């Protein structure tokens, strides 16, 4: 089992979107029993709250269900538990680097490093912007999530779990 954690600041916009998109793709590719996914924030401002209404609306239009998610703050045990901890931007990656033991820094990265169609290395925070920012966030996260899935499929093959990936390889990617 590969364990992935998506991280933004408050865990009500970008990281729950990444979690929802990624879960959806994992189910499509029959990899949800091979990859565990969660999301958290570097700050506990919104702990216990559902994702932002605008985030949920934009996700629902594309058939992603974020309704059962609740914001939480990154916990010390997350840094040991998750194999891959992907921040949405450099500020949150910096926070993770400060709280993460140096021997675990190889687990940290930026989600957009898996993007194939965007040159940006950060997912912009749509919270204080206009509504269209939530759609851009979805576009960027969908792209990076597909790149991440490819990377994890290769990792599963390299680890000798080719059977888990083979049936999914023939499926067509359909986001809607």
Spot the catalytic one: 38, 78, 89, 125: 125
Q: Which two tokens stand for residue 72?
A: 């939480």
The SS3 of residue 141 is helix
For residue 79, give the nearest of 108, 45, 116, 122 by alpha carbon.
Answer: 108
Kindly tell me the number of DSSP H helices and DSSP E strands found in the chain.
6, 4
Active site residue 103: no
Distance CA 84, CA 37 (A): 10
Q: Which two tokens stand for residue 97?
A: 């680097």
Distance CA 80, CA 75 (A): 10
Spot the catalytic one: 8, 13, 100, 143: 8
Spot the catalytic one: 13, 14, 23, 72: 14
Strands 35-41 and 84-87: unpaired
Active site residue 8: yes
Catalytically annotated residues: 8, 14, 125
């Amino acid at each position: 089992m590969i364990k992935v954690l998506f991280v933004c600041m408050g865990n009500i916009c970008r990281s729950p979107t990444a979690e929802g998109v990624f879960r959806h793709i994992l189910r499509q590719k029959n990899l949800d029993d091979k990859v565990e996914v969660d999301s958290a924030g570097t700050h506990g401002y919104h702990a216990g709250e559902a994702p932002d209404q605008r985030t949920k609306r934009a996700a629902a239009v594309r058939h992603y269900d974020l309704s059962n998610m609740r914001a939480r703050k990154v916990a010390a045990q997350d840094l040991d538990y998750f194999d891959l901890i992907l921040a949405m931007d450099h500020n949150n990656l910096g926070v993770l680097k400060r709280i993460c033991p140096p021997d675990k820094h190889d687990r940290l990265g930026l989600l957009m490093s898996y993007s194939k169609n965007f040159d940006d290395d950060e997912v912009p925070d749509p919270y204080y912007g206009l509504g269209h920012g939530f759609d851009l966030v979805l576009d960027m996260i969908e792209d990076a999530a597909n790149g991440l899935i490819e990377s994890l499929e290769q990792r599963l093959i390299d680890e000798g779990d080719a059977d888990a990936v083979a049936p999914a390889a023939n499926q067509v990617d359909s986001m809607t």
